[in-house]
Every structure is written in C-alpha cells, then in structure tokens.
C-alpha cells in the first residue's frame, strides 16, 4: 500500500475543526435529553464552620423547582476522601464557596432563582486563609505532587554555599492562579435503573467513571462517561470535580436527567487552582558562573481537606549541574479551596524562581545569560545520576539566540529607550518531564477497506483526535481518510487523562501497537480483509512499566523582548520566541498551537494573572474573566515557536515527548528578565504590575 496523504510528522488539520466551528460538535452541557432538569449550586458564604439549618420553603414554593438538596437529605455517597467529589455529605464548611446545597428545577432560570432563595444558617468558626513564609502551621510533608519526596539533599549545601565566591539569595512570590478554561465545568447525567450515563467536561473519562462508580457504589461497567469535545482544562478537569457528582446525584433524586453547568463566578472555589508559592533560591557559584551549591526552598499552602503540595523545587533537582544541592517543600493547611493541577504544576512556578535566579547570577558574574546556562549543563541527571535519554537544551539556547538576534544585545540594563519606552530582552530555559501511562486501544479492519480505531483519549482542544488518527494511519500504512477514530468515551477502554503532557504518548502507544498487529493480521490473510473483518487489541501496561534507566525530559529556550512605559509602568511584550526539543514532533500544526498557547499563558502569568485572597471574607476577590485578567488577543505579540528534530529511542514507538506544558515553563522568567534588562528593576513578585515598575 502506498499513501498519498500526510501521516506522522505532517501538519494535518483538526479532524473535528468543521464540526466545532459549525456548532455541530456537542459539549457536555449541550446534550438535551427529554425532560432534562437544571441544577444550580448554593455556595457557602462563610469560610469555616457548620451548616446548622437549610431553609428551602421559599425555593420550593415555585412549582418548577423539583428539589433542593443539602447535606441533610442528599444521597449518601461512599466518600472518597476527596473534597471535590464528596459533596453534600457533611454539614462542615471547609472553605468559602464550598457547595452547601443544590437547587434542581425544570428550567435554568427557576434553578438559579431557587438557589438564590435558599437560606442557609451557619455556626461560624475562626478561619485562617493567609499564607505567610513563617506560618506556625507549616510542616514538611512526606511527598509533594507527583509523588516526589518533599526534601532532597546531595553533598553539603551549607558549607559549599558559605564558601562560594558568588552568592545569590533571593525570594520569589507567585500568587494563587486559576485555570479558567474557556468551557466551564459542566455535566449532563442520566440514570436508567442502576446504569448511569454522564456527559462530562473532563480531561479523562476513565478517571470520572471510576470515581462515580465508587461514590455511587456501582460496578464501573454500570457507569458510562462521555466527553467527546472539551473546551480546555489546563489541569482543572484532571480528576472529577463537584459538578459531575452533583449532576448524577440530582438526576437520581428527581428521577430525570439533570444538567449542571458551573457559573464561572463559582468556579474559583471548587475546581482547583495553582497554589500560592514563596520560593527562596540560593545559588553559590564560582566567579565564572559555574554552580557549586543550589538550594530551593518552597513554602506553599493546601486545604484542610486534602494535602496537595505544588512541587515547585523538584525541577531544581534535575535542571543544572549542582553538586551540592538541597531542595525542600513546606506546606500549611489553611481554610482555603483545595489547590490542584494547573498547566505544568511544579515546573511552571519552580522555573520562574530558578530561571530568575539564574539571570541574577549571570549579572553578578558578568556572564551572558545564555552562556551561563551552557556552563551549567550537567552530564547526567543530577538527581538520579541517570543518563538523559536525550537533552538538547544547549542546542535550543543556541538556536534561539541565533533566531532572536540575541548576540546584538547590549548587556547593560536600562540603556535602550524609544521615547517613553524602555526596551529590553531576556532569556530563560524551559523543561518538562516525559510521562507515560498504561492505556488500551482496539483497531478494526472492515471488509469495505475502512479502519476503525477505539481509544478512550480526551481531546481538550489540543488536536488529540487528529494526531492519534495519524499514528494509526502511519502504523497501518494507509491514507488518513481511511481511518475513523472514536475517542472520549469510557466504554472504549481504560485510558489515562489528558494531563502531564502524556496524552499523545500514552494513548498513541497502544494505538500504534494495535494497528501494527492489525496490519500483520491482514498480511496473514493475504493482504485482504475477510467478510467478518479483523481486529486487534493492545494494552501497554507492561510496556510502559518496563522502565529504562534513563532520565527523560523535554527542554526548551524562551526569549522575550519587552517595552516598559516609563510614565505608566505598563509592560507590553513585543516578541516571544521559543525553541523546543521534545522528541519527534508528530504534527507541526498542532504542536505549534500547543507551544504558543503555553507561551501565551506564561506571558499572561508574568504580567496579568493572580488571585487575591481576601482575609475579611476568606475567598478570592477575582471571580470571573473581568476581574481575573488573562491575556487577550491584543496583548499577544509576535510569537514564534520552533523545535529541533530530536531522535530519542528511549521513549515510545512514536519517539515523541510531551508538548502540552513545556510552552508555559520559563516564559514568565524570560519576560521578568527582559523587564530587568529594560528597566534595571527586578520583578520577584508576579504579576509584574505597573506600580512595581515606577
Ligand atoms: Mo495538566 S496541569 O497535567 O492537566
């Protein structure tokens, strides 16, 4: 068979693009089963305490209202110990905005009015919502997000730092950040006897299926989760959130399908956020900039309900040559919403601190920032001592410097001015680990010459559906058009979430295997498909767990040029340029979109994003996209994403590393470093608001 259509490595356009722009593609809240009811949650108006009474009479007076649920009468779940799923199970209020009741009605308007008419009484208790660096409740957890140890030491940091000729000791602060995907969290739930079907906006149907089965005491086979199209998640849909549990619960109680789409104003408290971090970075170096001692100490917070610790110092264990190293995390449980994953948890905030400190070290040593990073390139991964499966950070830095025009840069600070604008440029490195998880897939050959592939992948807007079809067509050696793929449904098999930049590798691996096997089966049939068709099934549990003794990470280099208005302090980014080494790029069109999306989000983090905990009422002041600022089109400058071709045989059959998160890593530091070059003012607290630059 010969192919005429693009396969792996070709810029295939999104297969569902037309369906999306014509409105044909359906999202979780757009399914309209007959007699569907609508639910609207009631958030707690206190930050800590107990619900003592829920007055529902006024709400129930409207005949359109089907039910008002609270802890007093909601179905008892088999609780999982996850505050995001164990909803309405207890009168305890752990944080402001936690859902304490749910109104269900025949119309959305009636549900909303009913929710507003519910009157809740509380016995309040003192609360603590403010993270400080010396909070008395700080403790060292055993592990941090990702399962890493909270503390790691190599060599003798204290002695080597004390004796280092150049020392940098700086504190960086990043506020709480909220994911705010375009599509708010939403679910439509239907029961048929003891069989539950939910259409859910999630990053992985298997995770939701398993959680709902546990909560409602069902066999996983009795729960069907469908998430065909998802409008973004950035980690906030990685595990089940309250909306899907509440929709299923409400549907059971009112005996009809129920739909629940979270109002954006309620999201900040219930779907997770990037926890606030204080990060102290100490670098002890030789006068030539070579690091002798490195310490990265993180102070962060989590909720009383769950210990989630942003692993911001972990990246400093693997990034640079650092023979004497100590990396620590401390956390305090506050009466705040539970933090969770947000694009590149750990690496994104950690690399803001590390890459800012590297810029400060470059200045202190009078070494070019690109050259400083090259001088600190490790031979082996410092933490594990393993060889890198591939590491092309130096090539990314050199290629980026060449494309950006870095070598024309005057290294002096605050010398380039155009009228009221101070101009500067900055660089930062970028990295993200390679993750992969077990997954199942099936491939079918039909007698009519068509192929079908089933894999429970989730396309959160990245183009997963398209690249998986390319992987299948490539393995089958047929044109893309002959392969029809089904994704986004739990009945298609077990699959991991779209997260950790691991989706394409995890889902693509069994797709590749099943298609290779199917092709072999066709060959055994003399190259034709019998009337009954042929099929092949793959499960990569053993393959991915084999382990290979290599340190696997993607790398990149980020360059930024900014202008700062000397009168207003306003910073605008003029140019962003990233060069990435992320294995084989399977679809350049989709990859570019992921890279520049991440870079845009990193720029937004540098200049605009941040949630403010209001100690008076114990919740975030920003509740929507009018108050929580994210970059708009007008803020986005010329962005270029480039990549190096990287052949890495130690990854997966496609040779790909993840690309979903690395784009955000390092961008904020590149922007802050550029601001320093422009103005001489060092931004160590994000976002870099105008008042800090005047
Ligand atoms: Mo991403 S934060 O791993 O969903």
What is the SS3 string spanning 53-111? EEECHHHHCCCCEEEEEECCCCCCCCCCCCCCCCCCCCCEECCCCCEEEEEEECCHHHH
Same domain? For 502 and 607 the reply is: no
Task: Determine the atom of ligand 1 nearest the C-alpha atom of 501.
Answer: 3
For residue 535, the model assigns a pLDDT of 98
Same domain? For 564 and 671 the reply is: yes
For residue 548, the model assigns a pLDDT of 73
All residues at 6 or more sequence positions from 603 whose CB lies less than 8 Å from its CB, including other chains: 560, 573, 576, 631, 635, 636, 667, 668, 671
Is the Cβ atom of 613 under 6 angstroms away from ligand 1? Answer: no
Is the Cβ atom of 658 under 6 angstroms away from ligand 1? Answer: no
Cα-Cα-Cα-Cα dihedral sign, residues 21, 26, 28, 32? positive
List, edge to edge, every strand of the sheet that includes 440-445: 483-486, 451-454, 440-445, 534-539
For residue 656, the model assigns a pLDDT of 96
Extended beta strands in 540-586, E state: 553-565, 571-581
Residue in the structure block whose two tokens are 């150049």: 166
- With a cut of 90, say whether residue 641 has pLDDT above it: yes
Structural domain including 428 reads 143-177+274-434+552-693
| Nearest residue to 390 via CA among 669, 9, 123, 645 | 645
Same domain? For 473 and 529 the reply is: yes
| H or E element in which residue 259 lies | strand 258-261
Whether 622 is covered by a domain: the verdict is: yes
- In a 13 Å sphere around the CA of 82, the CA atoms on its Cβ side amount to 19
CA 260 from centroid of its chain's CA atoms: 23
**Residue minimizing CA distance to atom 4 of ligand 1:** 235
Dist. CA 310 → ligand 1 center (Å):
12
pLDDT in tens, 382-436: 999 999 999 999 999 999 999 999 999 999 999 999 999 999 999 999 999 999 9
Same domain? For 634 and 670 the reply is: yes
Give strand pairing partners of 575: 561, 638
Helix axes 667-679, 588-607, angle to 10 degrees: 50
Query: Rounded mean pLDDT of 649-678?
Result: 97
Same domain? For 22 and 71 the reply is: no
For residue 6, the model assigns a pLDDT of 52
Size of the chain in residues: 694
Is the Cβ atom of 345 under 6 angstroms away from ligand 1? Answer: yes
For residue 547, the model assigns a pLDDT of 66
Assign 15 to helix, strand or coil. Answer: coil
Whether 104 is covered by a domain: the verdict is: yes
Cα-Cα-Cα-Cα dihedral sign, residues 9, 15, 17, 20? negative
CA dist., res. 275 & res. 446, Å (int):
50
For residue 3, the model assigns a pLDDT of 45
Assign 176 to helix, strand or coil. Answer: coil
For residue 293, is the peptide bond before it cis, meaning its omega torsion is within 30 degrees of 0? no
Domain C-terminal end among 522, 545, 568: 545
CA dist., res. 181 & res. 174, Å (int):
20
Q: What is the CATH number of the domain that holds 574?
A: 3.30.365.10
Query: Rounded mean pLDDT of 137-149?
Result: 98
CB of 341 closer than 8 Å to CB of 365: no
Same domain? For 116 and 264 the reply is: yes
Lowest mean pLDDT among 38-42, 105-109, 438-442, 543-547: 543-547
Task: Determine the atom of ligand 1 nearest the C-alpha atom of 203.
Answer: 4
Same domain? For 384 and 343 the reply is: yes
Distance (Å) of CA 395 to CA 363, 401, 645, 646, 660: 22, 10, 11, 11, 21
Whether 131 is covered by a domain: the verdict is: no
Is the Cβ atom of 500 under 6 angstroms away from ligand 1? Answer: yes
CA dist., res. 265 & res. 179, Å (int):
13
For residue 13, the model assigns a pLDDT of 95
Whether 11 is covered by a domain: the verdict is: no
Mutation pick for ligand 1 pocket among 499, 504, 598, 659 (CB with most ligand atoms within 8 Å): 499
Cα angle value 655/442/190 (rounded, 5°): 115
DSSP assignment string, 586-625: S-HHHHHHHHHHHHHHHHHHHHT----EETTTTEES--ST
- With a cut of 80, say whether residue 355 has pLDDT above it: yes
Whether 573 is covered by a domain: the verdict is: yes
Dist. CA 203 → ligand 1 center (Å):
9
Dist. CA 21 → ligand 1 center (Å):
25
Is the Cβ atom of 499 under 6 angstroms away from ligand 1? Answer: yes
Same domain? For 349 and 391 the reply is: yes
- In a 13 Å sphere around the CA of 632, the CA atoms on its Cβ side amount to 5
Torsion from C-alpha of 647, 650, 655, 658, nearest 10 degrees: -110
Q: Using pLDDT thresholds of 50, 70 and 90, give the confidence band for residue 1.
A: very low
Is the Cβ atom of 503 under 6 angstroms away from ligand 1? Answer: no
Same domain? For 400 and 418 the reply is: yes
Q: Which of 160, 210, 622, 661 is catalytic?
A: 661
58-89 residues labelled b (16+ CB within 10 A) or e (exposed): ebbebeebbbbbbbeebeebeebebbbbbbbb
- With a cut of 50, say whether residue 454 has pLDDT above it: yes
Identify the DSSP state of 275: P
Whether 242 is covered by a domain: the verdict is: yes
Domain count of the fold of the chain: 3
All residues at 6 or more sequence positions from 535 whose CB lies less than 8 Å from its CB, including other chains: 442, 443, 444, 445, 518
Tokens (6 digits) for 690: 């105008």
Cα angle value 591/592/598 (rounded, 5°): 90
Query: Rounded mean pLDDT of 236-259?
Result: 98
CB of 311 closer than 8 Å to CB of 329: yes
Tokens (6 digits) for 308: 């989630």
Task: Determine the atom of ligand 1 nearest the C-alpha atom of 233.
Answer: 4
- With a cut of 70, say whether residue 580 has pLDDT above it: yes
Dist. CA 501 → ligand 1 center (Å):
7
Annotated active-site residue 57? The verdict is: no
Looking at every residue in the chain, the average pLDDT score rounds to 97
Extended beta strands in 438-493, E state: 440-445, 451-454, 483-486
| H or E element in which residue 535 lies | strand 534-539
- With a cut of 50, say whether residue 2 has pLDDT above it: no
Is the Cβ atom of 341 under 6 angstroms away from ligand 1? Answer: yes
CA dist., res. 311 & res. 327, Å (int):
10
Task: Determine the atom of ligand 1 nearest the C-alpha atom of 497.
Answer: 4
For residue 557, the model assigns a pLDDT of 98
Domain C-terminal end among 545, 564, 594: 545
Residue 167 CB coordination number (10 Å) = 16
Same domain? For 480 and 352 the reply is: no
Dist. CA 364 → ligand 1 center (Å):
35
Dist. CA 602 → ligand 1 center (Å):
14
CA dist., res. 421 & res. 571, Å (int):
9
Domain C-terminal end among 270, 289, 319: 270
- With a cut of 90, say whether residue 195 has pLDDT above it: yes
pLDDT in tens, 264-294: 999 999 999 999 999 999 999 999 999 999 9
- With a cut of 80, say whether residue 259 has pLDDT above it: yes
Identify the DSSP state of 332: E
Task: Determine the atom of ligand 1 nearest the C-alpha atom of 345.
Answer: 2
Extended beta strands in 92-185, E state: 92-93, 99-105, 119-124, 143-144, 148-149, 152-154, 166-174
All residues at 6 or more sequence positions from 426 whose CB lies less than 8 Å from its CB, including other chains: 359, 369, 559, 560, 562, 669, 670, 671, 672, 673, 674, 675, 676, 677
List, edge to edge, every strand of the sheet that includes 49-55: 92-93, 49-55, 119-124
Whether 173 is covered by a domain: the verdict is: yes
Same domain? For 86 and 74 the reply is: yes
Dist. CA 230 → ligand 1 center (Å):
14
466-478 residues labelled b (16+ CB within 10 A) or e (exposed): bbbbbbbbbbbeb
Helix axes 347-365, 588-607, angle to 10 degrees: 70
Torsion from C-alpha of 417, 423, 425, 426, nearest 10 degrees: 110
Is the Cβ atom of 238 under 6 angstroms away from ligand 1? Answer: yes
Whether 138 is covered by a domain: the verdict is: no
Same domain? For 324 and 393 the reply is: yes
Helices (H), 525-607: 541-545, 588-607
């Amino acid at each position: 068979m010969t192919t005429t259509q693009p396969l792996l490595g070709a810029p295939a356009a999104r297969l569902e693009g037309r369906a999306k722009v014509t409105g044909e593609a359906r999202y979780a809240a757009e399914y309209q089963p007959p007699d569907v009811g609508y639910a609207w949650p009631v958030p707690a108006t206190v930050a800590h305490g107990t619900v003592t009474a829920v007055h529902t009479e006024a709400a129930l007076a409207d005949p359109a209202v089907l039910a008002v649920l609270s802890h007093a009468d909601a179905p008892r779940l088999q609780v999982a110990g996850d505050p995001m799923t164990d909803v309405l199970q207890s009168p305890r209020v752990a944080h402001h905005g936690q859902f304490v009741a749910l109104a269900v009605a025949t119309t959305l308007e009636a549900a909303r009015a009913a929710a507003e008419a519910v009157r809740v009484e509380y016995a309040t208790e003192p609360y603590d919502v403010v993270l400080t660096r010396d909070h008395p409740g700080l403790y060292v957890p055993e592990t941090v997000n990702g399962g890493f140890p909270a503390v790691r030491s190599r060599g003798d940091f204290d002695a080597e730092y004390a004796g280092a000729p150049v020392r940098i000791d700086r504190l960086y602060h990043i506020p709480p950040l909220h994911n705010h995907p375009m599509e708010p969290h939403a679910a439509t739930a239907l029961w048929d006897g003891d069989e539950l079907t939910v259409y859910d906006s999630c990053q992985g149907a298997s995770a939701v299926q398993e959680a709902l089965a546990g909560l409602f005491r069902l066999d996983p086979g009795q729960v069907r989760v469908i998430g065909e199209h998802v409008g973004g998640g950035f980690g906030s849909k990685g595990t089940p959130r309250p909306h899907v549990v509440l929709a299923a619960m409400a549907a059971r109680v009112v005996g009809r399908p129920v739909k629940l789409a979270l109002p954006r104003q309620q999201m900040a408290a219930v779907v997770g956020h990037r926890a606030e971090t204080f990060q102290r970075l100490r670098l002890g170096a030789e006068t030539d900039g070579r690091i002798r001692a490195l310490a990265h100490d993180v102070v962060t917070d989590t909720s009383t309900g769950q210990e989630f610790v942003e692993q911001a110092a972990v990246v400093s264990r693997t990034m640079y040559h650092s023979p004497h190293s100590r990396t620590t995390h401390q956390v305090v449980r506050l009466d705040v919403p539970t933090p969770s994953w947000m694009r590149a948890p750990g690496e994104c905030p950690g690399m803001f601190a590390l890459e800012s400190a590297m810029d400060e070290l470059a200045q202190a040593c009078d070494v070019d920032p690109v050259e400083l990073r090259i001088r600190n390139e490790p031979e082996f991964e410092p933490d594990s001592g393993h060889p890198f499966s591939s590491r092309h950070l130096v090539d990314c830095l050199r290629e980026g410097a060449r494309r950006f025009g870095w070598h024309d840069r005057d290294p002096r600070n605050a010398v380039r001015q155009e009228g009221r604008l101070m101009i500067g440029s900055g660089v930062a490195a970028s990295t993200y680990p390679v993750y992969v998880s077990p997954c199942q897939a099936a491939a079918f050959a039909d007698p009519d010459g068509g192929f079908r592939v089933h894999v429970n992948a989730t396309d959160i807007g990245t183009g997963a559906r398209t690249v998986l079809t390319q992987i299948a067509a490539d393995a089958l050696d047929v044109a893309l058009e002959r392969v029809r793929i089904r994704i986004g449904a739990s009945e298609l098999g077990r699959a991991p979430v779209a997260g950790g930049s691991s989706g394409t590798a995890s889902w693509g691996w069994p797709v590749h295997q099943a298609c290779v096997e199917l092709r072999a089966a066709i060959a055994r049939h003399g190259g034709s498909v019998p009337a009954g068709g042929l099929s092949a099934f793959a499960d990569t549990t053993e393959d991915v767990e084999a382990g290979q003794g290599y340190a696997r990470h993607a790398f990149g280099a980020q360059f930024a040029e900014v202008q700062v208005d000397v009168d207003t302090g306003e910073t605008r980014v003029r140019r962003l340029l990233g060069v990435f080494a992320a294995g084989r790029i399977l679809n350049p069109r989709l990859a570019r979109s992921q890279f520049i999306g991440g870079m845009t989000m990193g720029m937004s983090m540098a200049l605009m994003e941040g949630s403010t905990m209001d100690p008076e009422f114990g919740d975030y002041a920003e509740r929507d996209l009018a108050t929580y600022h994210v970059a708009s089109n007008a803020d986005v400058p010329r962005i270029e994403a480039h990549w190096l071709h990287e052949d890495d045989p130690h990854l997966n059959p496609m040779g790909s590393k993840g690309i979903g998160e690395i784009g955000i890593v390092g961008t904020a530091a590149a922007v802050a470093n550029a601001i320093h070059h422009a103005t001489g003012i060092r931004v160590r607290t994000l976002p870099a608001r105008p008042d800090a630059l005047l």
